[in-house]
Amino acid sequence: MIKLPQTISDARVDTILNIFNQIQRSKELVLDFGRVQSILPAGHVILLSILDKVIEHQTQVDFLNLSSKIKKLKSVQLLLEHSSQQGFCSVDQLSFIGEGLIVKSLQNSIYISIEEDLIQCFESKISEKQRWYIQFILNELIQNALDHSTSERYFVYIGEWKREIHFGITDLGVSIPAKLEQKYNCESDEQYLLKSLEYKVGTRRVRDGGLGLFHLFSILKEAEGRMVMISRDAQLRKYFKQRKTEHGKLKNSLRGTWCFVRMPKESVL
């Protein structure tokens, strides 16, 4: 049995990644929601990524101690509804727009309706310029997933939480360290993640690249935002307002790349 944390978000990811390892190793899984009080925007795509793996491996999942409040959340409803399903869900089944939240499942494609969805959900809440930056950053992350991932599906989210806008992508495919080590030599996966943010450091073998994550780094620095990158055996956390960087080795590996971003609503870009 795995006890989920009080808040499902981009924090305490080792508990979440342990679920993926259990899905791959066992045909049965028990998830205890007894401590869960809230699910932040990133938590919704994390739950749907878990659902994707459960269906892929045909794992039998039991859910314990779900409160009525948590049961009402759309991502949890989808998890309960489809966890015993045979065969993958369609991208439309795992996409939804709610109050202050967009969750999009994509399969071998770009996010065509991102501009319209941002206007529909956030027109009165964040500025047009902020919407443009969110769209720009997500398009770069999606293009990275299309260029480098072996995963057929990935999830994108945009949501508001208190005085912040959260957005990002969960991609279960080829990791950043696995691609960069074909061109560069670093001592650890943590160093590969730091390397990926450097100007013109890219994962393409032939063409120049490396502008996407560098631009993301530059925008978040100006906005005094926060970024979390998780890939293979490492995680990198940058807190731009505090000018602080944290990185470390994961207890449980992630085959793929997750990138989570937070920006204050009042940031001037």
Convert the pLDDT of each residue in 14-38 to its tens digit.
999 999 999 989 999 999 999 999 9
Mean pLDDT is lowest, of 5-19, 78-92, 128-142, 173-187, for 78-92
Please say whether the beta carbons of 31 and 4 come within 8 A.
Answer: yes
Residue 60 backbone phi and psi in degrees, to 5: -85, 120
User: In the chain, what is the straight-line distance between the N-terminal and C-terminal CA atoms, in Å?
Assistant: 45
pLDDT attached to residue 139: 87
Please say whether the beta carbons of 145 and 49 come within 8 A.
Answer: no
Please say whether the beta carbons of 234 and 252 come within 8 A.
Answer: no
Please say whether the beta carbons of 63 and 78 come within 8 A.
Answer: no
CA distance linking residue 150 with residue 88, whole number of Å: 16
pLDDT digits (tens, 9 = 90+) for 183-240: 889 999 999 998 888 877 765 554 455 456 777 778 888 888 999 999 999 999 999 9
CA distance linking residue 16 with residue 21, whole number of Å: 9
- Separation of CA 113 from chain center: 19
Q: In what helix (H) or strand (E) does residue 38 lie, and over which residues does it extend?
A: strand 38-39
pLDDT attached to residue 203: 59
> Domain 2-264's class?
alpha beta
- Separation of CA 230 from chain center: 9
Of residues 192, 189, 93, 108, the one with CA closest to residue 150: 108
Would the pTM of this model clear 0.85, i.e. be above it?
yes
Taking 90 as the threshold, does the pLDDT of residue 176 lie above it?
Answer: no
Residues 6+ apart with CB under 8 A from 166: 40, 41, 42, 157, 158, 159, 160, 260, 261, 262
> Residue ranges per domain, the chain?
2-264
Taking 90 as the threshold, does the pLDDT of residue 165 lie above it?
Answer: yes
Taking 80 as the threshold, does the pLDDT of residue 267 lie above it?
Answer: no
Taking 80 as the threshold, does the pLDDT of residue 64 lie above it?
Answer: yes
CA distance linking residue 224 with residue 76, whole number of Å: 32
Beta strands in 172-265 (DSSP E): 226-239, 244-264
